[in-house]
Each structure stands twice: as structure tokens, then as C-alpha cells.
Amino acid sequence: MKRHILPLDCLPAWAEFNHIVFNGVEIRTSSQGRGLAVVATREFKADGVMNGMDPFITVPKDLILSLEAVEGYAKSDKWLREVLEARGEWARTARGAILIFLLLQITKSAQDVTESIGLHNPWTEYVKFLPSFVPLPTFWSETEQGLLEGTSLAAALRAKLKSLKREFEELRLATVDIPWCKRQWWDDQTGMLTFEDWKIVDAMYRSRAMQIPEIGDVMIPCLDMANHASGEETVAGYEVDENVGDGLLEFLGGIELEPGDEITITYGDKKGACEMVFTYGFVEESMETAQEIFLELDVPDDDPLKRAKLAVLTAAPGFKLFIRNECVEWEGPLIWLICVNEEDGLEFRLSQRIDGERELHTFWQGEPLNDTSSIQKLLERDALWEVFLLRANTILQQCVESSILRLNASETLIHKAASFTDVDASVLHDIARLRELEAKLLQTAWEDFEKQKAALIETETVRRYLESATLDIYRGIDEDFT
């Protein structure tokens, strides 16, 4: 649909009308090409916090968009209520409710809407100030997405687009029989809602939502204009006042600010390069490592317990590599399930419930294993723990090596991409940075696993196990000849 976009010059009037207070800052176009930004209009001293300085921005509680707030709007807005009820349980999550709310706001203010839809509220106007272009990977061209091949973002982006398409289709099926939804959204002649619109509200939420303790994910107008900077470059922090519930953008202190300096927050200093590109559309230039990578993994086809292992897995099928205390570590229960089988003590049993449905149960050495994520703790107490750890390191190293080879195989395409007409220069820069950082982490991980394997092979437990296995092989050969 054709969104109605208001010029930034109108934002101060909207903010004043809705009692948003600015203290020595304003919102303007970023001088660093980062969209909109919160910028200082006067000097701030480094000890401003100690001297009781007022927040940069104060946003009244009633403007904070949360699950509870959407439910409050729905009590008087029958249009919103109809869609929320039609989407059922999904719309009772913060993300589901807020996405539907945002969709109705851009619908009621769209240039091609032909009837009055929904009740007017402050967000009806605020969404008109949000950029019409959101530089997230879900909006990249097919060629740009293809340049991600070999990175952890490639699989994550495919999964995200698949999930968004499923959500969009579920929205259509749930609301197509609501008369106004059929006319304005789905009708072949008069309907104006497209998959691009659904991607836009997802991007609005994903790139602007803030996590507030005891409330959850929220969107706070004007505070969400603050851009990211990590470490000592972070100028401000956000919170909700515990007494009155207002949203605050507060000076952290420690640095001097001059007029024109940008007021930045951190989106999360520990977030990995993949998550930064996925959620916010950029890789910070100061990043020296990818921080973390999630690699997909499947149970080998020749594993007789493959179907059972995947059925009881409660986490995503793969594992996460991450940096902790300057060392590469990993986590992923699937690795441990792959490492062990029946001869080690892993067992699956089927039982029948009262309702007739069959249920799969996991056992380790005869004891119930109710949560597969806790299997590592059981293996650590086993006499063969070092053997299991060696198996895990071998699987991890093989997976990491495959990822390195995939990155290297697609590297030549990156060098040619600068001449492609459907590849944006800034997107290409971020993709190249992501590939560089992930390649560095993968190489470090491979080397660490090699060292760990070498150390484990020298342990008494592993040596005895390998000697026993060798003897078993020779016995098998003797029996065959006999």
C-alpha cells in the first residue's frame, strides 16, 4: 500500500502535542548516513548525571506501545479487536499484537484507503514519521541475498522470509471473511495489502523494539530514533521510570557533548555480527570478531536413532559458537545426542497416553531424561566423558571446516559484486564485513578444536577406549576367518 509519510519538520509539533519532553536534544537526519538520529543542541558536561540532569527525552507512559497497551486500544477500537481475535493465540504475544496494531495504523493512513478504519491514536501519526525504507536483509535483492552464501545469516534469512510468508498467509486466512479486511486488504480489485507491507511492520518492530524488564518488548516513540554505538561510544541508556512509568532516554555521563553530537544507545554490545545485520541492517565498524555464529547441523542418515533424536530435540538443530573470555566456546544439545547411541546407554521408548496418543521418552543408562538440553551434565558424570568430548570436538571441527569451505567457495562472487546493478554499495560492504568476521571466528574455532582433540587423544580414558575398540576389531576379523 502507499504509505503516507510526514516530513521530519512536523515531528516537534506532534511530540509537543503528546507531551514528549526534549532536554537539549532534537531529532534530525543523521550526518553519518544512518537515517534519523537524536542529536544534542547544547553542551553537556561529563558529570551531568551526578548533578541530577533531567533525561534527554521523556515519553509519557500512555505512548509506550506494549502488549498491554495494544489490548487497551482494542477495548475501544472494534477494527483492531476483530483482527486480534481472528489471529487468536498468536495475537496474544507482544510481537503478534504490536505487528497487527502497526499494520492497522499504516492502513488507516494509507493514501489509497477508501473508508474510515479504526480509531485515531498518537501512533496513527507517529508511524508516518518512520522511514519508508528499512535497510534490513528481508528487503535485499535476490543477488544481495545470494552473496550471504556461506555465512550464518544465509540460513537465518531464508528461515525468516519463510516465517513471514507463513504469517502473512495465516493473517489472510484468518481475516478474509471480515468485511472491511476483505475490501481493503484482500479483494482482487480493491485490496491493497501486500507481503511487502507485512515485511515493513516486521522491520519496524524488529529494529525498534526495546526490552524492558518486567514489561517485555515495547516500542517507545522518539526514543527509538537513537542509533547504536558500543562500548565507550555509548552516550545514553533507556529505561521506564519505576514510579510513573514514563519512558526515559538518560545521559550515562563520562564524556563531554557538543552541539551536533549524536546521542547513541547500545543495541547490545554482546550481539554478534550476524544478529546486528539481521535485526538492524549493519555491522559496526569497530567490531573485531563476529562474537557468535549459529551453524545448522543434522543427525547423520546412517544413525539408526536419527528420527527419535530429532523428535525429542527441543532446541534448534545446530550449535552456537561464541567468544567468552577471549576463548571460543560452543553450546548445542544436538551435538551430544549425535555423540551417543544405544551401546553407550541412550534409549528411546514409546508409551501410550490415556487419550490414545503415543509419546516418546528418552532414557540415559536406564534413567529418564526429561529435557534433552540437560544431557551434557549427565555425560560429564560418565566414566567415558572424555571419549564423548572427543566425539563432539570431531563433529564440531568437521562442521566448522565445511562452513569455511563454503565461505571460500563463494568468495570470488564478492569481488565481482561491485559491478552488479542490483547490489547496493553499503549492503555489499556489510556483507563483506560479515564474511570477514565469521571467517575469522571459524578459523579460530577450527584451530581450538584441533588442539582440544590432540589433548583428549592423550588422556588415559581415550587411550584405553581406543585400545579396546581396536581389540574388538581384531577379534571380529579372527571370527570372520574362522
In this prediction, residue 370 carries a pLDDT of: 86
Measured in degrees and rounded to the nearest 5, phi and psi for residue 160 equal -65, -45
Strands (E), 13-69: 21-22, 25-29, 36-40, 57-59
pLDDT by residue (tens digit) across 253-300? 778 899 999 999 887 777 889 999 998 888 888 888 899 999 999 999
Say if residues 83 and 104 touch (Cβ distance below 8 Å): yes
In this prediction, residue 477 carries a pLDDT of: 43
d(CA 410, CA 303): 31
Which residues sit opposite 234 in a β-bridge?
none
d(CA 120, CA 122): 7
In this prediction, residue 412 carries a pLDDT of: 86
Count CA within 13 A, CB hemisphere, residue 161. Answer: 14
d(CA 104, CA 185): 11
In this prediction, residue 478 carries a pLDDT of: 47
Cα-based angle 138, 279, 235 (whole degrees, multiple of 5): 145
Chain length of the chain: 482
Residue from 277, 366, 290, 297 nearest 337 by CA: 297
Q: Pairing state of beta strands 57-59 and 247-251?
A: antiparallel
Per-residue cell: 478? 579372527
Per-residue cell: 250? 538518560
pTM for the model stands at 0.87
Measured in degrees and rounded to the nearest 5, phi and psi for residue 33 equal 70, 30
In this prediction, residue 472 carries a pLDDT of: 54
Per-residue cell: 139? 528487503
Q: Residue 186: which H helix or E strand, with range?
A: none
In this prediction, residue 456 carries a pLDDT of: 95
Residue from 358, 331, 357, 296 nearest 348 by CA: 358
Per-residue cell: 80? 483492531
In this prediction, residue 470 carries a pLDDT of: 65
The runs of H, that is alpha helices, within 290-344 are: 306-312, 333-339
CB burial string 121-155: b at 16+ within 10 A, e below: bbbbbbbbbbeeebbbbbbbeeebbbbbbbbbbbb
Number of H helices, E strands in the chain: 17, 14
For 160, other C-beta atoms within 10 Å of its C-beta total 18
In this prediction, residue 25 carries a pLDDT of: 95
In this prediction, residue 33 carries a pLDDT of: 67
Residue ranges for the chain with pLDDT beneath 50: 473-482
